[in-house]
Amino acid sequence: MPLAWILGFVSLTGNRQAWGASPSFTPLSELHHIHALAVDPRDASTLYAATHAGLVRLMPGKPWELVGQDHSDFMGFTLDLSQPGAMYASGHPAASSHRPNPVGVIVSRDGGQSWQPLELVGMVDFHAMAFSSPEAVLYGWNVMGTPGLYRVSANDGTWTRIEATGLQGVFSLASHPSERETLMAGTRAGLLLSWDGGKAWASLHSMFAGIPVTDVCHRDSAG
């Protein structure tokens, strides 16, 4: 099925809940400091926002709601579109949390109600993340410790740092839903494309050269 890439130029300015607990959604009167946005693959009317004080969601006719009880600073966030309720994040723990800082890569299997460490705890702070469903791997742009592009297996947490020739100043990452190694990046220098799993990057089109691209995602062109 053909796909179209959508890009945007938008500037947006823990605690652990036990598995099996009743879902918690707390209404919020205001929302600040959004780092990432994602649409629920099961319901296109539901929007998730990764913020400085936790994961929140917006549904039609409702106020913003805090998802779960985790107030971590979610700097990076992405969904596994092939697994309902599967989410990945990175960033910093809440002030009341005993988690290491940074939290590394954390995963939720229950729609953000609870989070568990996956890998790279205390080592990485991903500010951009993308999940590749065909590969079951996560790509993340790290800004702490040894910065750069990382590839993390969702199955066992094994990871590697990719040399990523030509990639820097990353704001956003996106993976193709069916082409295993096709990635895109919104960067300070424009919109970049990789066909080899992030090893080499080049400008997608000269019209974007030198223009900061703050967000990029894909959309089914038939939908």
* Domains present along the chain, CATH in parentheses: 3-12+23-220 (2.130.10.10)
Whether 8 has a pLDDT exceeding 50, the answer reads: no
183: left (phi over 0), alpha (psi -120 to 50) or beta: beta
- Residue 88's CB is within 10 A of a number of other CB atoms, namely 23
Whether 3 has a pLDDT exceeding 60, the answer reads: no
The amino acid sitting at 50 is A
| Residue-wise pLDDT tens digits, 142-176 | 999 999 999 999 999 999 999 999 999 999 999 99
The string of DSSP codes covering the chain is --EEEEEE--------PPTTPPP-EEE-S----EEEEEE-TT-TT-EEEEETTEEEEE-TTS--EEETT---EEEEEEE-TTSTT-EEEEEE--TT--S-SS--EEEESSTTS--EEEE-TTT--EEEEEEETTTTEEEEEE-SSS-EEEEEETTT--EEEE--BT--SEEEEEE-SSSTT-EEEEETTEEEEESSTTSB-EES-GGGTT----EEEEEETT-
Q: What pLDDT shows up at residue 12?
A: 32
| Residue-wise pLDDT tens digits, 183-213 | 999 999 999 999 999 999 999 888 888 899 9
| Residue-wise pLDDT tens digits, 18-47 | 444 589 999 999 888 999 999 998 899 999
> pLDDT tier at 222 (50, 70, 90 boundaries)?
low
Q: What pLDDT shows up at residue 190?
A: 95
| Residue-wise pLDDT tens digits, 58-113 | 999 999 999 999 999 999 999 999 999 999 999 999 999 999 999 999 999 999 99
